[in-house]
Amino acid sequence: MTIIDITPDTDWQALVAEHLAAGDRVSLRFETPSMTPQEMADSLGVSRPSIMRWIGEGKITSQRHGNRHRIPNSEVERFRSWYIQDVVDASADDALAELFGDTK
């Protein structure tokens, strides 16, 4: 079996017709681009257990495939934006104190 990845601009109907005309068996499968928890952890620079904890807490939405989690790329980007802002907010007071001294 040959797997062909297509892009949104691919004329998939013509591609299917071409393979059918050649006598090939054709099966279509649509997937949402996604990452495993380990891939997401690597992309954020955190541990896989942290990703799994955040999934359990509902901070990250994942899709289950059997006993495996897949995280849609759109969710990875949403969480990345939130996570970066959270880190910035958490470190802002420390950075200001280091620059200007303890102002409290």
pLDDT in tens, 74-96: 999 999 999 999 888 888 878 77
68-72 sheet: strands from edge to edge = 34-35, 68-72, 63-65
For residues 43 and 78, give the distance between their C-alpha atoms in angstroms, rounded to a whole number: 13
Q: CB neighbours (10 Å) of residue 34? A: 18
Q: Is the pLDDT assigned to residue 104 strictly greater than 60? A: no
Could you give the 3-state DSSP secondary structure of residue 69? Answer: strand
- Contact present, 95 and 84 (Cβ < 8 Å): no
pLDDT at 91: 83
Residue 26 has pLDDT above 90, yes or no: no
Task: Give the model's pLDDT for residue 34.
Answer: 93
Distance separating alpha carbons of residues 3 and 18, to the nearest angstrom: 14
Q: pLDDT averaged over the chain?
A: 89
CA distance 18 to 42: 40
- Top pLDDT among 102 and 83 is at 83
Residue 54 pLDDT > 80: yes
Q: Is the pLDDT of residue 31 over 60?
A: yes
